[in-house]
């Protein structure tokens, strides 16, 4: 048995052993939210390849599906064996701006010089299967980057990381799965596939993509000392840190406990239509008038 096969089996074994048996937060099992909609979230993964590289990307994706990606499918209609002029702008918008090492110049160069595009769709997810399915999606990303892809992006929330950052996130997920620490696994998947902060100073800033780990998104409205100037990068990073803190707390304690503890509200997601991939069927937790 080769090292890749052993790694796949070890990772999947950790996911199976760590799978929660109920929605109650207990020990290392994360809480997940009750759905407020019939919509079921799913991953859309975008992979870029070299010139005339679609055949190689397809071969790698099909191998990944056969090894561990049950329920994942290739979107051949949306894929293309030529550059997509929209990709440079799309990745520029979607690069994670929170982690300081999220992407490098080499990652931007790879996007700029790509020659093929492949899309992969994940299966529709229930809240209780979201973390393990997202862990498989993260494994799918790493497999593709190891087998011909030169860049990757999570289309559902619109977030991209560079090759080194994707690998770092995958290694964190593998370690969490091996130690059966599903709280850590849920956090890593959230950092990999959710984007934050999205929004503006007037309406507030939020996460997008928490539904990929079975949680509501978090919206922060805030009060600033000088409301005549736009929020700074430092202030936006502070908002992102609070969004992550609340996400961690919801994972540990459950949504209802966080809503009660922080005296906040949980409401339907009205930011997106119900048939959009960014729509969160678990709702949005809103923290109002946070002082920066």
Rounded average pLDDT over 18-44: 73
pLDDT of amino acid 19: 55
Whole-number percent of the chain with pLDDT over 90: 83
Question: Residue 29 pLDDT more than 80?
Answer: no
Q: Are 122 and 71 in contact (CB under 8 A)?
A: yes
Question: Residue 16 pLDDT more than 80?
Answer: no
User: How far is the C-alpha of 57 from the C-alpha of 61, rounded, in Å?
Assistant: 6
Condensed to tens digits (0 to 9), the pLDDT of residues 133-156 reads 999 999 999 999 999 999 999 999
Other Cβ atoms within 10 Å of 250 Cβ, number? 29
Domain with CATH 3.30.70.2920 in the chain: 30-192
Q: How far is CA 40 from the centre of its chain?
A: 15
Rounded average pLDDT over 60-77: 96
Tell me what the pLDDT averaged over the chain comes to: 91
Condensed to tens digits (0 to 9), the pLDDT of residues 73-115 reads 999 999 999 999 999 999 999 999 999 999 999 999 999 999 9
Which of these CATH numbers, 3.90.1150.10, 3.40.600.10, 3.40.50.1000, 3.30.70.2920, describes 30-192?
3.30.70.2920
Q: Are 174 and 222 in contact (CB under 8 A)?
A: no
Condensed to tens digits (0 to 9), the pLDDT of residues 104-123 reads 999 999 999 999 999 999 99
pTM comes to 0.91
Q: What separation in angstroms does the CA of 53 have from each of 79, 108, 118, 152, 153?
A: 11, 18, 9, 14, 17
Residue 255, exposed/middle/buried by CB under 10 A (0-12, 13-18, 19+)?
buried
pLDDT of amino acid 190: 98
Q: SS3 string of the chain?
A: CCHHHHHHHHHHHHHHHHCCCCCCCECCECCCCCCCCCCCCCCEEEEEECCCCHHHHHHHHHHHHHHCCCCCEEEEEEEECCCCCCHHHHHHHHECCCCCCCCCHHHHHHHHCCCEEEEEECCCCCHHHHHHHHHHHHHHHHHHHHCCCCEEEECCCCEEECHHHHHHHHHHHHHHHHCCCHHHHHHHHHHHHCEEEEEECCCEEEEECHHHHCCCEEEEEEECCCCCCCCCHHHHHHHHHHHHHHHHHHHHHCHHHHHHHCCCEEECCCCCCCCCCCCCCCCEEEEEEEEC
Q: Are 110 and 151 in contact (CB under 8 A)?
A: yes
Rounded average pLDDT over 39-56: 98
pLDDT of amino acid 32: 85
pLDDT of amino acid 7: 52
Whole-number percent of the chain with pLDDT over 70: 90
Q: Are 217 and 278 in contact (CB under 8 A)?
A: no
Question: Residue 20 pLDDT more than 80?
Answer: no
Q: Between residues 53 and 16, which one has the greater pLDDT?
A: 53
pLDDT of amino acid 290: 86
């Amino acid at each position: 048995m080769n090292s890749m096969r052993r790694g796949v089996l070890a990772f999947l074994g950790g996911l199976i052993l760590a799978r929660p048996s109920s929605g109650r937060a207990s020990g290392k099992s994360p809480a997940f939210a009750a759905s407020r909609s019939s919509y079921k979230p799913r991953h859309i993964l975008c992979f870029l390849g070299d010139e005339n590289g679609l055949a190689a990307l397809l071969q790698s994706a099909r191998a990944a599906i056969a090894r561990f990606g049950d329920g994942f499918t290739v979107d051949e209609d949306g894929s293309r064996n030529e550059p997509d002029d929209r990709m440079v702008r799309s990745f520029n918008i979607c690069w994670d701006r929170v982690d300081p090492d999220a992407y490098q110049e080499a990652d931007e160069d790879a996007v700029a010089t790509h020659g093929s595009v492949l899309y992969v769709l994940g299966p529709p997810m229930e809240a209780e299967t979201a973390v393990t399915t997202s862990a498989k999606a993260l494994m799918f990303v790493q497999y593709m980057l190891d087998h011909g892809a030169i860049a990757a992006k999570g289309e559902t929330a619109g977030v991209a990381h560079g090759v080194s950052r994707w690998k770092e996130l995958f290694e964190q997920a593998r370690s969490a799965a091996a130690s059966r620490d599903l709280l850590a696994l849920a956090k890593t998947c959230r950092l990999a596939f959710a984007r934050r902060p999205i929004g503006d100073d007037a309406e507030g800033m939020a996460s997008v993509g928490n539904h990929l780990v079975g949680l509501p998104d978090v919206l922060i409205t805030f009060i600033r000392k000088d409301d005549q100037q736009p929020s700074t990068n430092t202030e936006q990073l502070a908002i992102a840190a609070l969004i992550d803190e609340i996400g961690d707390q919801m994972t540990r304690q459950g949504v209802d406990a966080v809503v009660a503890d922080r005296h906040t509200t949980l409401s339907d997601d009205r930011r997106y239509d119900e048939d959009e991939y960014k729509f969160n069927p678990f709702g949005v937790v809103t923290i109002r008038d946070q002082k920066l």
